[in-house]
Amino acid sequence: MTPENLFISQHHQLIWGTIVLSVCAIIHVGFLAIMVEALAKMGDWVERRTRFMRTALLTGAAFAMIVSSHTIQVWLWAYVLIHMGAFDYLYNALYFSLVTYTTVGYGDVVLPVEFRVFGAFGGVTGILCFGISTAFLVSLISRLLPRSIE
């Protein structure tokens, strides 16, 4: 690969990495917005339940939505990696996407050199979305916990 092609390749990786990261952010924020509405609607129904049930149902629903959002994002990264030609097999793409998104990064499956900048965006996406998820759950639990203790 010539230096000119490498520059163009890196430029495209930055653009496509930014696009996929942005789509994932939209998905995640969308799931959180839907979750706020769903939790508000569940609020009246769970208010008549025991403290344990209220806490378990609301936290469980939020957790399920967050896990669903992260799962969709990992699948999206895997699909894009296959579409771009970085992997031939879905298993490898999913495994790499999950390990990168969670920032575990075992290193047993690596991207070809020409996709590494793009692949790093998967880790950035995971860090940002896990941060938002953590903040959301902390906020939810901090609102539920005092009510559960009373």
**Domain ranges within the chain, ordered by starting residue:** 3-149
CA distance 129 to 5: 32
CA distance 105 to 135: 23
8 A C-beta contact, residue 74 and residue 95: no
Q: How do the pLDDT tens digits run along the chain, 150 residues long?
A: 444 444 457 888 999 999 999 999 999 999 999 999 988 888 777 777 787 888 888 889 999 999 999 999 999 999 999 999 999 999 999 999 999 999 998 989 999 888 999 999 999 999 999 999 999 999 988 887 776 565
**DSSP line for 87-135:** -SSHHHHHHHHHHHHTT---SSS---GGGHHHHHHHHHHHHHHHHHHHH
Closest listed residue to residue 84, CA positions, set 28, 3, 15: 15
Q: Which two tokens stand for residue 129?
A: 């979305």
pTM: 0.86
